[in-house]
Structures are given as C-alpha cells and as structure tokens.
Amino acid sequence: MTTHTQAPALPGHGQGQSQQLRTRMRPGRWARELGWRHVVGVLAVAFAVFPLVYVLSASLSPTGTLTGSNELFAEVSGTNYAALGDTRFWTWMGNTLVIGVATSVGTVLMGAAAAYAFSRFRFTGRRLGLTSLLIIQMFPQMLAFVAIFLLLISLGQVVPALGLNSRLALICVYLGGALGVNTFLMYGFFNTIPRELDEAAKIDGASHAQVYWTIILRLVTPILAVVALLSFISTFGEFIIARVVLQSESNWTLAVGLYGWVSSLLEANWGLFAAGAVLSALPVLALFLFLQRYIVGGLTAGSVKG
C-alpha cells in the first residue's frame, strides 16, 4: 500500500496568493470602482490650488496688475514685497493679530464656561437659553452694523476707550457674538465627558471651579483648539464690522487696509495687494498646522482612559 504525502505549504504562501488575486482587478473594473475617485480628487486639488498659484504669481509680478499675471511666473521679482515696508502693512498685521488672538481667547473662555454650565447644571431657563442662542445665531452679526455704529457713538461719549475707532471696542463687538454655535459645539463635547469624573473629584473635596479648571478643560482640549482656530480665522478676515468701527488708518486691520489699496479702480495696485494677501495667509496657516498637531495629540491622549 502506497501512501502519498503532500509537501507542506510554505507559511503564508497560499494566503499571499489569494490576497493578490482578490486585490487584482481588470482595468475596466478598477476605473469604475476606484479610478474615478482619483480623477475627482485631482480636479478638486487643481480647482483649489490654481487661485493660490495665481495670487502668488501676481505678487511676484513687478507690473502691479493682474493682466500681467496671465502667464504664470513670467516675471519674478520681490519688488512688491519690498514695497510693503513703505506702507502701514505691518501695523495692520499687528492690529489684526492682537484683535484675532484676544477674540479667540475670549471666545474659548466664554464658550467653555457657558457649555460647562449648560452641560453639568440643571436650572430654570436652561432649555430656553440653549434655544435662544441657537435662534440668535441664525442672524449674522453683520446685519446689526448700523445698530453697532450708533451704540458705539453713544458709548464713546461716556467711555472713550469703547467708542468708535477703538480696537478694544471691536474686540468687545466680536465677543458679543462669540456664543451660540461655539457654545453648541462645546456643549456636545462636554456631554461626552462622564459625570463620574466630576463626582469622584467632588468626593475628594474638589469644588466646581477645581473640577472645571483642572479636569474638564484638560479633557476637552481638542474642541477648545477647534473653537480657537475657527474664531481666529473668522476674525482675521472679517471686513464689514471692522470697516465700520475702525476709522483711522493706523487702527485698520489687514482686511480693511488691503481693500483700501484696490478700492479705487484707477489707482489699484494689485501686485501690492497680492503680496500682502500672501503674507497675511501665513499666520493662519501656521496656526492651523500647529493646532492640527495639537488636536490629533489631544484626541489620541484622551482615547485611553485609565
């Protein structure tokens, strides 16, 4: 009686072949299932990148017009960037950064405090307050610029620091519309934090303030970073209210100042405008990259609870 012995298969050899067979597909099927996604992705990237490349090309063109930038990077010169030193561009940059940072910090502090109160406490008018914040945010703040203008005129007669042409007044106006959507974003994130942490801290003798500052805020760091980023970006590029409140050129923000360079069609210097636009995008880009890493780190750190 003869017995046939089968040679042992190499470990993982059969599994590797079957995996290759499953992943291998015909070109037509690949184009129907996966290929069109690559085409859409390339078109979306090209659609988003082209305006940025065009503005960068215009900023490097010494002619100072957009028509001279039809041929991308036909002429490359740093004339426009050097000319920024003879303007108030850097003053406007400083004003914008001060207003943006102050507004984002105030928005985070106010929104986090309101979200903590709505999430952890039960009081009369809680549901009405949440609904009111949501309804108020349905109307953009810029719709009230006439009322804001008249209010600051009257307020400036009593407190000059809070009147027209004041950066502090502009920050207060921005903080007046800081609640609403930001509070709802934080409120939803606060609800994901177990209440058992609060109760355990209170058993150890911690007060509400200690629980809020030492425990809760550390666990909701990702949403704080998101709200700070969104607030800074919206304030950085806001134009209508800043143009109404800030009267003197030395107090202008970047949005108001750059608009002044191209508001007159006969005297518009688009090359200088493009150079300022490129430089003004750098702080936002740097903050986004920094907070992106911070948000990812906060999410991964908070995903493992002891």
| Identity of the amino acid at 52 | L
Which domains occur in the chain, in start order?
30-77 (no CATH), 87-302 (1.10.3720.10)
Residue 107: C-alpha distances to residues 115, 174, 255, 273, 284 (Å): 12, 9, 21, 30, 17
pLDDT tens for the chain, residues 1 to 306: 444 444 454 444 545 444 453 456 677 777 777 777 888 888 999 898 988 888 888 888 887 666 655 677 777 888 889 999 889 999 999 999 999 999 999 999 999 999 999 988 888 888 888 888 888 878 877 788 889 999 999 999 999 889 999 999 999 999 988 887 788 888 888 888 888 888 888 888 888 888 889 888 888 888 898 889 989 999 998 999 999 999 999 999 999 999 988 887 667 788 899 999 999 999 999 998 888 876 665 444 444 444
The DSSP symbol for 245 reads H
Are 39 and 255 in contact by the 8 Å Cβ rule? The answer is no
CA distance 228 to 217: 14
Kindly give, in sequence order, each residue whose CB lies less than 8 Å from that of residue 267, ignoring residues fewer than 6 positions away: none
pTM of the model: 0.80
